[in-house]
Each structure stands twice: as structure tokens, then as C-alpha cells.
Structure 1
Amino acid sequence: MPLRPTIHRHDDAQSSSAAERCMLLAVYFLFNLGLTIYNKLVMDHFPFPYIVTGVHALCASCGSYLFLLTGVFRPVELYRKEQLVLLLFSFLYTINIAVSNISLNNVTVPLHQVVRAITPLFTILIFVLAFRKSYSFMTYVSVIPLVAGVGLATYGDYYVTTFGFLLTLLGTFLAAVKTVMTNRLLTGRLKLDPLDLLFRMSPLAFMQTLIYASLTGELSRFSDYARTGMTRTMFASLLGNGIIAFGLNVVSFTANQKCGALTLTVAANIKQVLTVALSFMIFDLKATFTNVIGIILALAGGAIYAYE
């Protein structure tokens, strides 16, 4: 008799209090928003996506090593097969960040947000097809206004090339895969500490970015830039970018472990529409009727998901 897929309320997550989950998601909002804006500003003046990715990985390596030295976490012993899994995960981690950074150079931020908004759909698809999971009907329903709402809320300055769109779509799929695999490493059989996972994966990701940068000729162009165009301000900007990226990685991994992969992607969508809403208020921008409907739809989808 074939086994029926188990219906999960949302997805794998370690037990934690509601207050702790809300705090984690709030901090995740702040770091995610800050890094998105910071990345765009840096990439406008520093067109080296692999190098930026390398800075992220290097800061994560140094930061997690400092936490190891201070005894915040203890690395678990892994067998060769498990080390291979982490190596493959590091490839996914590196490519995901690099593709996202490259796509930001080929599309506008509003369009980038719209395409990235379908990450929950990819996440559900991966869980259903790869792990034979199923969700309640209302969970599926909640994703529809959540995704559509982001599209309407960010409707505006759309510029895209075919290459840029396909690259952004690929980055969205890779982001979903990375989020799911992170969840499995943190809550599955290994149950790695978020800092332990970052400590093992970041040095591998850093070396990979250098290889990618060399193969694409970016490392050579960066060398020329470093001799003639690198300023102290740009160096400080890159360092700050890397520190924020490290903070986001720690918070993101921890939230993934405590709240679940799908919840994290839903939270990312809510972050996008809240960002749009705040920008209208802070910068006194004129919101269209379409934008307002989008914000309401997305928040309603998030509320349905949270209630369910």
C-alpha cells in the first residue's frame, strides 16, 4: 500500500517560542532590507559581483571563526559523505549569491523584487516533489495574494533584458533550493548549529568565488581597478557590506532553523511590501491605487499564512 504524503502545517522547524520566532523574523527583516539596499548602492559603483560575493564569504569566515574562538559554538564531527554534502552546498550558496548580484546589474530593483517574490512557490514545489510533503489548502491559498501583492505593490519602473529576466528567475529558484537545503542541514539528521554551518561553508565559498572571478576575467579587471580606482571610502563600503552580509547569514540560518524554510520565504515577501509602504511614507512618494491594493493583498496573504 503506497504511503500518503504527510500534511504539514508549514515545514520543518525546531520548536521555539512565538516571541523568539517573531524577534528572529523582525531582525531578519532589518538585515535583509539593509543588505538589499546596500548591495544595490555598492554594485552601482563597484561592478564586480564575484568579488562582492567573495567579500561576503570572507567576512562570514572571519566572523564565524571569532565565534568559534570565543566558545559560542562547537563544531560537530562529520563523516566524509557529510563533508561532501557541505561542499556541494557551498557551491549552491556561492552561485546563488553571485547570480543575485549579477541580476541586479541587469534589471531594476522593482522587477528584481517581483521575480524574487515567487520564491515561496518554488519552495513549496521543492518540498512537495523532493520530500513528499503536502500542506493545508489554506497554506497554498495564502501564497497567491502574497506573490501577486508584491507584484502590484512594486509596480512601476520595470526595465529588463531577456538575459536579465532569465538570470533573476534562475536566482529565485536557486534561492529556494538554498533555503530548503539549509533547513535540512539545520533540522535534519545533522542538526548543525547555524554558526557551525557558516563556519564550514564560508571558506569553501570564498575560494570558489576567486576561481569564478578568475575564469570570467573579473579578477584581472578588479586588479586594475584596485590600482587606480579603489578608495578608502569604497574599501570601507565593501567591508560594511560584508559585515551586514555576515549578520544576515547568521540571522537567516537561525530563523530558518527555528521558523522553517517556507516561513522564511514568506517573511521575505512581507519585507518587500513593507519596504515599499515605508518608502511611500518616509520619502513622501505618491502611491498609486495599484500599489495600495498590492500592499493589502500581500499583507492579507501573510496573515492567512500566519493564522493557518
Structure 2
Amino acid sequence: MDITMIGCNLTTALHPTFWSTQDPGSTPEDDGPGKSSGTTRTLQLGVMFGVWYLLNIYFNIYNKQVLKVYPFPATVTAFQFACGTVIILLMWTFNLHRRPNIIRAQLAAILPLAVAHTMGNLLTNISLGKVAVSFTHTIKAMEPFFTVVLAALFIGEKPSFWVVSSLIPIVGGVALASFTEASFNWVGFGSAMASNLTNQSRNVLSKKLMVKKEESLDNINLFSVITVISFIFLLPSAILMEGIKFSPSYLQSATPVSLINTVGTALALVGVFLYSGAKRMKLKLKAS
């Protein structure tokens, strides 16, 4: 299950702009003084980001270890979706979060998102099984590039000059890291790139398809429904592709990292930071 998407949904739910789109009666600022409530929510958001990053680091390292011992990415991904499905069903059963009433129009909009989500997670795990964790996520730093291209093609969203400029160090850094990566192979590289395409297709499709307010779900329920559908999609495919297999083999975990590779990775990360800043600048200009 994509822990990054979990973090995005939880932190979005805590962000003040999320509440501004909800029913005014449910706005958290109404529960107390504005400053106190705002400070508390900012602290909550900061804690959530911290926990999200820590869990993401642990998840990726442990995921790599699992794929070394059990090199069947479709089965591993299906198992991750199965764990998520169990947690979601418990959440709905014990009313920890309101269970959604899915209508046909919602299901039709969610199915393409679930397909993209399934493929994105599967391709990421295929990449993690073939190359170093650091290299997979260096390649995945290219996600903003795919976001800009797909948004321009499918929803007509034109990027600003600063957004486009911020993509240059991302592309350059990923290219530099790829040329100098000791664990490089085309399957790992191609899978990570394809996961960028599918994950960002999911995000663009969600903007394009989930536009009607009466057909939209809150972030937690949307992700929950996508996870359950992804499990249903992937389970039979995993059995057909890999069956039920176990492998006792272990691979060496040490991957040498050169100076140029480190520079390329750092350059890509700087590009992601600049991209985020450029997007915020664009939103501020629109608001003014």
C-alpha cells in the first residue's frame, strides 16, 4: 500500500484549506479561538509530516529487504493491499470513520484511479526489487515533471515559467544519478519511470473525474475505496503471474554510491523543492 498517498491524505485533511471546502458547520476553527485553533492545527500538521516521512523511510527500506528475500513484487503488492483492506474494513465496521455510500457514478470515476494506483504500486515494487532504494526514489523525483506534462495535456493546465524552470534540475539530477548508479538496470529504471507516469495519471484523473461535489468523497474514504478495489484487481493477477512461491535466497544489500551519483540525487531533490516553491508562487498570484 502506498504510504506516501496515506500521508498526503492525512496531512491534507489536517490542512486549513481542506476544511475551507467542507460544510461550514464542520470547520474546526469554530470550536475555539482562531489563533489557538490555528496553532494547534499547524502543530498537528507538522507532527503528521514528521511521522509520514519516518514511516515512509522505514516502509521503503523494509520493502526492499522483503523483496530481496521474496522476489515476487506482484504478490508483495497484493499482500500490502490486503493489509490495507483489513484495516479499512475495521475502520468502517467500528465507525472510526464514516463509511461511504458509493453510487454508480462514483464507482465509474474511481475505477480508473484504482487501476492507475494498482499499477503505480506494483511498478514501484518491481523497481525496488531490481535497484537500490535510493535510486528508485531518485527516479521518482521526476513525478513533478509528469504532473506538469499530464496536466497540460489532459486538463489544459498551463505551467508558469518558474514551474517549468524548476523542472530542469530535477531532470538533470535524475539523468546524472542514472548514469552513475552502480545498481542501474533497465527493468528497475523503466519500472520506476512507469510508476511516475501511472501515479501522476491517477492524480490528474482524480482532478478530471472527481469534479462534481455530489459525486466526490473525502480524502480518507477515496483512498480507502481505491485500496480495496486495487486489492480485488491485483490478487488474481498476482496468483496467475507468480502463484504461491517462496524463495530463501538473499542478495547483498551494499550498493556503492559515487560522488557524482550523490550530486545527481541532491540536484533532483533541490529541483523538487524549487518546483514546490514555484507552484505555491503560482497559487498566490492566482489568489491575488
Q: Same fold (TM over 0.5)?
A: yes
Change (3 A) 1:304 1:21: farther
Equivalent-residue separation in structure 1 for 2:115 and 2:267 (angstroms)? 38
Change (3 A) 1:287 1:136: same
Aligned residues: 235
1:204 to 212, 222, 229: 229
Q: Which runs of 5+ in 1 are unaligned?
A: 1-12, 230-284
Equivalent-residue separation in structure 1 for 2:106 and 2:173 (angstroms)? 40
Equivalent-residue separation in structure 2 for 1:296 and 1:73 (angstroms)? 41
Change (3 A) 1:114 1:181: same
CA contact (8 A) 2:177 2:260 kept: no
Show CA shifts across 1:74-100 (max 9, x none): 233332132122233222222221122
- Is 1:118 the counterpart of 2:142 in the alignment? yes
CA contact (8 A) 1:146 1:302 kept: no
Equivalent-residue separation in structure 2 for 1:210 and 1:289 (angstroms)? 41
Show CA shifts across 1:21-63 (max 9, x none): 5554433322322221111111000112122111111111121
Task: For residue 194 of structure 1, report the CA deviation from its aligned partner.
Answer: 2.6
- Structure 1 segment 1-308 matched on structure 2, within 5 A: 15=17, 19=42, 22-149=46-173, 152=176, 155-161=180-186, 163-182=187-206, 189=213, 190-216=215-241, 218-219=242-243, 221-222=244-245, 225=246, 288=259, 291-292=262-263, 295=266, 298-299=269-270, 302-303=273-274, 305-306=276-277, 308=281
Change (3 A) 1:38 1:181: farther
Task: For residue 153 of structure 1, report the CA deviation from its aligned partner.
Answer: 6.6
* 1:194 alignment partner AA: N
- Using the size of structure 2 for normalisation, the TM-score is 0.67
* 1:125 alignment partner AA: V
- Using the size of structure 1 for normalisation, the TM-score is 0.63
Q: Report the secondary structure of 1:169's partner residue.
A: helix
Change (3 A) 1:205 1:286: closer
CA contact (8 A) 1:93 1:178 kept: yes
**Percent of pairs with identical residues:** 23
Q: Which has the higher contact order (CA 8 A, sep 6+)?
A: 1
Change (3 A) 1:187 1:88: closer
Q: Which segments of structure 1 move beyond 4 Å, counting only runs of 4 or more? A: 20-24, 150-155, 182-188
* 2:227 alignment partner AA: S
Equivalent-residue separation in structure 1 for 2:181 and 2:270 (angstroms)? 19
Task: For residue 183 of structure 1, report the CA deviation from its aligned partner.
Answer: 5.7
* 2:99 alignment partner AA: P
* 1:100 alignment partner AA: T
RMSD: 3.4
Task: For residue 123 of structure 1, report the CA deviation from its aligned partner.
Answer: 0.8
* 1:15 alignment partner AA: T
* 1:202 alignment partner AA: T
Q: Which runs of 5+ in 2 are unaligned?
A: 1-14, 19-37, 249-255, 282-288
Equivalent-residue separation in structure 2 for 1:114 and 1:196 (angstroms)? 30
Q: Which residue of 2 aligns with 1:238?
A: none
Equivalent-residue separation in structure 2 for 1:212 and 1:286 (angstroms)? 36
